[in-house]
Structure 1
Amino acid sequence: MFENFSFTSYYVDKVIWKTLENELENFHNILIITGNKSFESVKENILPILKDKNIIIENYLGECCYEHSSTIIKNIIGKQIDLILGIGGGKVIDTAKLVANQINKTIFIIPTIASTCAGTSALSVVYNQDKTFKEISFFKAPPEKIFIDLETIKKSPSRYTWAGIGDTLAKYYEVKIKHEYCLANNKKINFPTQMAIELSHNCKNIIIKNSEDGYYSQEINEAFKNIVLTIIVTTGMVSNFIDDFLNGAIAHSVFYGLTVLPRIEKEHLHGEVVAYGILVQLLLENNLEEYKKLTEFYKKLKFPINLTNIVRLEEFLEKENDILEEILKGPDLIDFDFNINKNNLKKALFYKNN
């Protein structure tokens, strides 16, 4: 019967720094976990706020992995920490959350891009040092607060927001397929999961409605704000509300499997590949009507619609069996009614859309 839910308090504005300054008033010893480019994008705004604070800056080391979070923790042994500030994109934020949960400290987030819901979710996607997927690490609660500066995000490379759109769409389609499985198999759905299922529709509807205007606009308009909040906040709410069983499906498993190819992590963004994974999922479901509608939207945003848009065919064929096996053992896959196997998975991956 027991249920519990907590969510990140979010603050959003075109310029958010005064709000951040007020919220940091009672914190004096702050550990900042960030990346070089991430910190560069905000330092002229944040350093004046921190001038009377004792700050330690630890750079994230290029990947969210346990080895790197352990290195950061070793570097701060014996130092007083009141608060952790995670400043950056998804992997920086996931690293900061790992550290915060390992040393049991409050964490605030300042996203410098809008590519995932990492800033509001109670998990970190953990990789091996060679950049292949390792596991998902779940936490008791998400970050306490997040400060979304729309000006910073608009100035960031637009491909990150583009990838965030793809990752956010996946939340709807992956929740949908798992929900249908639960209904077909008479599985109980608890109260917060019911709310998450309803909320997940906005991960599709708001994105489809606002993406062209918000993404392509040079201005910070309402459509852009709607996209950013859907990527960071709505998707995070769904992730935190929903039962772990429904939190992910085929689209993300396709991404994890394709990371067997080093080129995926080097040349492509998480949400970009996950967006392609949605198409693979729809083909496996034999939902060709929705597949056709979504590919029309993809063409407007220039998302990948064929496997060869994201891999070199010869590299894929060389590692084909490893990739297929890695997808099939993904942490979010279950025994769906349509029985995913190497044959139908390969057919879906190689489906050619003109």
Structure 2
Amino acid sequence: MSVEFHFPAHYHRGPDVAQQLAKYCQQLGPKAMVLGGHTALKVLKEHVGEIANASYHWFGGVCSINNINKLKAIAETEQAQVIVAVGGGKALDTGKAVAVEMGLPIITIPTIAATCAAVTPLSIRYLDNGHFLDLYHLPSAPQVILVDTAILARSPQRWLAAGLGDTLAKLYEYRSLRHDNSIVIGDKKLTAFTSQLCFDLIQTYGADACHALNQGQSNEALEQVVDAIMLYAGMTSLMASGAHATIAHGLFEGLTVNDDVREFGHGLLVGYGNLVLLALEQRSDDELIEAIQLAKDCQIPTTLAEIKPDWSEAELDEVYQATLATPDAQLLPFKVTIESLAQACQRVDALSSRV
């Protein structure tokens, strides 16, 4: 059996580390194409100014094949030598895909702590309308990751909550995949360790990190959970040979078929999906209530109504069907039906009202 891992070359976290962008562009390029969301590009320019030999482009709003191809054409015309992706997961995923398909190095600068997208050799692709398309596995991880906590401390609270929800899934979903009693060795042992580390850091520092973000200030709690969200969660994904996501991510994919939910946030939906996974596993009420309390402390939604207040039965049925059709949902060691999925959501909603 052979295994292959794609690690990032350089991870730098701290206040004002984005100011080193010009240095890294000079080393890797120096002609850079910087792409991201409108807000992220503005934040980057305010924080570090405009760098020499660089062009700036909106990434298109969604990581779709069409947007990737449009940006590739621009990069080819401009003869870019390095891609810089700045923003949230969709912008970072778009930049990674563009860089890999062009054979160029990539620098990622997350402006929100919403996912581990800055670190991983993976892009989540969507259709142009925002519906989930597929997981695009890339042959290499980013060359440089600049995690600027001064920028992250001023980002919207909901995106930190999204990062916390997505990172908690590293333990919940890993545990659901390890349904036998086989000995955990090698890379799987490291995956087990990092997924538990992510959970422990969030359990210890998550609420305080949310408070720090509300104050617009970085502190040790924020730094610890940022490393959990990006570095340790990224390592968990990198070291998880084979599948490492189940129905928490499957439910996220299913929920994106609803246009009202499409922009709600990957990690926020996964965070709710974690609770549904626990219910599907028939965890005790006490364990579910403890998980719901942690989710609430981290400002993760714990009911369907927090995601969308006016679900119709037809809309929910569409979500459940789409969820069960995803590859991630097929990986649980037990069969999930529309009825059992609906019952799990109802149980989580009912227990949430008691917390």
Mark yes or no: TM-score above 0.5.
Answer: yes
Q: Which residue of 1 aligns with 2:44?
A: 42
Superposition deviation, residue 300 in structure 1: 2.5
Contact 1:284–1:338, Cα closer than 8 Å, also in 2: no
Contact 2:18–2:109, Cα closer than 8 Å, also in 1: no
Q: Which residue of 1 aligns with 2:230?
A: 232
Superposition deviation, residue 107 in structure 1: 0.4
List structure 1 runs of 4+ shifted beyond 4 angstroms.
none
Residue type of the partner of 2:233?
A: T
Superposition deviation, residue 311 in structure 1: 2.2
Residue type of the partner of 2:211?
A: Y
Superposition deviation, residue 128 in structure 1: 0.8
Q: Deviations over 1:287-316 (max 9, x none)?
A: 12321211122233332222222123443x
- How many residue pairs align between the two structures? 344
Q: Deviations over 1:129-176 (max 9, x none)?
A: 111111100011211110111100101112111111111111111111
Q: Which residue of 1 aligns with 2:63?
A: 64
Residue type of the partner of 1:241?
A: M
Report matched runs for 1:273-352 at 5 Å: 273-288=269-284, 289-315=286-312, 317-334=313-330, 336-351=332-347, 352=350
Change (3 A) 1:302 1:214: closer
Report matched runs for 1:166-245 at 5 Å: 166-180=165-179, 183-184=180-181, 191-217=186-212, 218=215, 219-245=217-243
Distance in 2 (CA, whole Å) between partners of 1:126 and 1:256 is 11
Distance in 1 (CA, whole Å) between partners of 2:331 and 2:139 is 28
Distance in 2 (CA, whole Å) between partners of 1:159 and 1:312 is 17
Residue type of the partner of 2:93?
A: D
Q: Which residue of 1 aligns with 2:13?
A: 12
Q: Say which SS state the counterpart of residue 323 (structure 1) adopts.
A: helix
Q: Deviations over 1:315-354 (max 9, x none)?
A: 3x12233221111111212353432111111111222221
Residue type of the partner of 2:70?
A: T
Q: Which residue of 2 aligns with 1:132?
A: 131
Residue type of the partner of 1:228?
A: V
Change (3 A) 1:302 1:12: closer
Q: Deviations over 1:211-248 (max 9, x none)?
A: 11122022311111001111111111111111132x21
Q: Which residue of 1 aligns with 2:262?
A: 265
Q: Say which SS state the counterpart of residue 113 (structure 2) adopts.
A: coil
Percent same amino acid among aligned pairs? 27
Residue type of the partner of 2:33?
A: L
Superposition deviation, residue 251 in structure 1: 0.6
Do residues 82 (structure 1) and 84 (structure 2) align? no
Superposition deviation, residue 63 in structure 1: 0.7
Distance in 1 (CA, whole Å) between partners of 2:333 and 2:111 is 41
Distance in 2 (CA, whole Å) between partners of 1:110 and 1:119 is 7
Q: Say which SS state the counterpart of residue 328 (structure 2) adopts.
A: coil
Distance in 2 (CA, whole Å) between partners of 1:273 and 1:265 is 10
Change (3 A) 1:190 1:72: farther
Change (3 A) 1:322 1:210: same
Which structure 1 segments of 5+ residues have no match?
none
Change (3 A) 1:60 1:208: same
Superposition deviation, residue 18 in structure 1: 4.5
Distance in 2 (CA, whole Å) between partners of 1:311 and 1:341 is 22
Q: Say which SS state the counterpart of residue 301 (structure 2) adopts.
A: coil
Distance in 1 (CA, whole Å) between partners of 2:331 and 2:149 is 41
Q: Say which SS state the counterpart of residue 176 (structure 2) adopts.
A: helix
Superposition deviation, residue 177 in structure 1: 0.7
Q: CA RMSD in A?
A: 1.8
Q: Deviations over 1:71-102 (max 9, x none)?
A: 11122334322111111111000110111111
Residue type of the partner of 1:342?
A: I
Q: Which residue of 1 aligns with 2:247?
A: 250
Superposition deviation, residue 277 in structure 1: 0.4
Distance in 2 (CA, whole Å) between partners of 1:142 and 1:281 is 29
Report matched runs for 1:79-158 at 5 Å: 79-158=78-157
Could you tell me the TM-score, scaled by structure 1's length?
A: 0.92
Which structure 2 segments of 5+ residues have no match?
none
